Structure 1
Amino acid sequence: MGAREDLTADEAVDVVNRDGRGCVVLVCDHASNFLPREFGGLGLDSAEFARHIAWDPGALPVCLELSALLDAPLIASRISRLVIDCNRPLNAPDLIPEISETTVIPGNLYITKWERERRIALAYEPFHSAIDELLSQRESTGQETCLVSIHSFTPVYKGVKRPWDIGIIHDEDERLARPMVEALRRLSGITVGVNEPYSPADRVYHTIATHAHPGDLPCAMVELRNDRIADTAGQYRWAGLLAGILSQLKPSGGDPAGCFRHSSVH
């Protein structure tokens, strides 16, 4: 984690390649472990901010490479999920987590309503507003769009090993998830989870559902095991693999859902 500094709401989100012409729009909710100095470490040792509790390690480099390969716009939060989790409903109990995995976050205990609203205004609202603005811009110009969020997960959670290399998360809209899963399963040596290690029931699908469903945009959430993307080689490998799959699924013929009409994933 870099040196702590002040951050304004205008700086709380990065929009990369805003005018990208690809049909994929990328979202990275947990891109950064950055903690503005006003939070004073949240009562944690600085080493904790390298862990998955503070961000999704490796997810942003994968997103940046995917953005370049697909000419895809990318919206990424610049503030640690320990300040506020942009991928949770506002009424979620873990919107501002008091415990992450087994680690207590002292600075998040007993926060006031004023502090909660301040964090929402600092990081949550700018992130979601940036997504809304970008999608509205694309809709106004008739660009075909599907929405993909990129996350990473820890190989061991609360002592339980997770066998998957990648998980594809979806709800009832499987237009994008199903062909992605099918393509991944055709590759040797990759263990693919469907709604693993998380599912929408875990409240992890908030960003996708909020921004994709109103416009009927094909959508999916990707979870990459973070030890698979811990270095540049792994990040490039998985970005290239996902780019190859997504580029083959690009909608065509003026029908944004045209190539995503599939039955249920099993």
Structure 2
Amino acid sequence: MEAGIAAGKPPVILSVHSFTQAWKGVPRPWSAAVLWDKDPRLPLPLLKALHTIPGAEIGDNVPYSGQLKGDTLYRHATLRGLAHALVEVRQDLILAAEGQAEWGAHLARVLNDVLRAAPGLHRIEHHGSNTGACCGKDHDHG
């Protein structure tokens, strides 16, 4: 990460997790979701690209929020001004090898498209945080 920043090409940070298909007996309808805070550079193109997956219900900051002070993305990306997002995939869709291969292919295609087309991903930009925490010297506190 530091080498990329020093070389003038800051990395893009993506974290991939999974979530349960139900919580306390209530089904979760989303196939996948993007979690994010205030920096829209990666999340918005990711959301748009994920919506191209046939039959997939895509969530935005569900079933969890991407606004967590002190989490991995906050510490390694938000504070550094690196473009970032977290993708969550529903667990029942990736339990079997076929589902893992299918979602792996979806994510590879989507990420390839986004990384090629989205401008500004490899720049340091401080967007702040909805957590109320300060995230760098050049960001807006609003």
TM-score normalised to the size of structure 1? Answer: 0.42
Helix, strand or coil: the match of 1:227?
Answer: helix
Gaps spanning 5+ residues in structure 1: where? 1-134, 258-266
1:245 maps to amino acid = V
| Aligned counterparts of 2:41 and 2:56: Cα–Cα separation in 1 | 22
**1:204 positional shift:** 8.2
Does structure 1 conserve the Cα–Cα contact (< 8 Å) formed by 2:73 and 2:84? yes
The structure in which a higher percent of residues are helix is: 1
**Of the candidates 214, 239, 250, which is equivalent to residue 79 of structure 2?**
214
Report how many residues are paired: 123
Helix, strand or coil: the match of 1:149?
Answer: strand
Identify the residue that residue 122 of structure 2 maps to in structure 1.
256
Q: How do 1:36-185 and structure 2 match up within 5 A?
A: 135-185=1-51
1:226 maps to amino acid = Q
Q: 1:241 to 1:137 in 2, by over 3 A?
A: same
| Aligned counterparts of 1:254 and 1:199: Cα–Cα separation in 2 | 24
Helix, strand or coil: the match of 2:89?
Answer: strand
TM-score normalised to the size of structure 2? Answer: 0.76
1:236 maps to amino acid = A
Higher relative contact order (CA closer than 8 Å, sequence separation 6+): 2
Identify the residue that residue 139 of structure 2 maps to in structure 1.
none
1:212 maps to amino acid = A
Gaps spanning 5+ residues in structure 2: where? 124-142
Structure 1 stretches (4+) deviating beyond 4 angstroms? 251-255
Q: Percent identity?
A: 34
Encode CA deviations 1:165-206: one digit per residue, 9 max, x unaligned. 0010011111101011111113320000000110135x3871
**Of the candidates 236, 240, 243, which is equivalent to residue 101 of structure 2?**
236
| Aligned counterparts of 1:236 and 1:229: Cα–Cα separation in 2 | 8
**Which is higher, the Rg of structure 1 or of structure 2?**
1
**Of the candidates 98, 111, 125, which is equivalent to residue 246 of structure 1?**
111
Encode CA deviations 1:131-150: one digit per residue, 9 max, x unaligned. xxxx2233233444110111
